Amino acid sequence: MFLIAGLGNPGRQYEKTRHNMGFDTIDELIDRHRIPQGGIAHKGMYGKGMIAGEKVLAVKPLTYMNLSGDCIAEFVNYYKLDPESELIVIYDDIDLEPGQLRIRKKGSAGGHNGIKSMITRLGTQNFYRIKVGVGAKPQGWDLADYVLGRFSAEDREVVDIAIKQAADAVEMILEKGIDAAMNHYNGAGKKKKTQE
């Protein structure tokens, strides 16, 4: 079984904000694969279903971003999952252009409080992650204001495509493995530039 965790903040006021890329991708997967909602447990909303022939738990922590690890660690422990091979985390990244995807097997928190919380609670930084770019914070802006803000109409179009691609990437990881997904998505932007 795989745990697919999308990070974000619960509540209507946070819908469609930059910080909710994970939640938006989970919603896409739930719709696409008709995953029934199991309700609330372990401080998160979850659904159990099948994606690419694998049993999955699709989870949105309800702890707010900075305590995401509290929810994810409870799910990992309850279902006796190995976070290094059975956990996929989707979240926003300000170091990537809006709509750019980056897939990693492991890494530091990179200043992301949700990931920081997960590393602390899980005791490892070796877990699969899909980062969805939201663009860099403009000079003079407060980081919290920026990530809790919404996209321009132009950026939103690009990001909506990226959310679908992030869901595709989850499917590819489950079907073909993390290396195949990294090769496919991480190289895409570079290849286009060299062809031009």
CATH number of the domain at 27, please.
3.40.50.1470
Containing structural domain, residue 25: 2-195
CA proximity to 56, closest of 6, 111, 8: 6
91 is in an annotated binding site: no
Tens-digit pLDDT profile for residues 136-181: 999 999 999 999 999 999 999 999 999 999 999 999 999 999 999 9
Among 19, 33, 42, 112, the active-site one is 19
**Can you read off the two tokens belonging to residue 34?**
């008709």
CA proximity to 57, closest of 66, 65, 67, 77: 77
Do 130 and 88 form a contact (C-beta atoms < 8 A)?
yes
14 is in an annotated binding site: yes
Which residue has 């663009």 as its token pair?
135
Do 54 and 2 form a contact (C-beta atoms < 8 A)?
yes
Q: How far apart are CA 38 and CA 158, in angstroms?
A: 31
Q: How far apart are CA 169 and CA 162, in angstroms?
A: 10
Domain count, the chain: 1
Tens of pLDDT along the chain (196 residues) come to 999 999 999 999 999 999 999 999 999 999 999 999 889 999 999 999 999 999 999 999 999 999 999 999 999 999 999 999 999 999 999 999 999 999 999 999 999 999 999 999 999 999 999 999 999 999 999 999 999 999 999 999 999 999 999 999 999 999 999 999 999 999 654 433 333 3
The alpha helices in 41-152, defined as continuous H runs, are 68-78, 113-122, 143-147
**Can you read off the two tokens belonging to residue 152?**
């321009």
Helix (H, G, I), strand (E, B) or coil at 110: coil
Do 71 and 44 form a contact (C-beta atoms < 8 A)?
yes
Strand order in the sheet with 54-61: 37-41, 44-51, 54-61, 2-6, 87-93, 128-133, 101-104
Residue 33 catalytic?
no
Report pTM: 0.93
66 is in an annotated binding site: yes
Do 33 and 50 form a contact (C-beta atoms < 8 A)?
yes
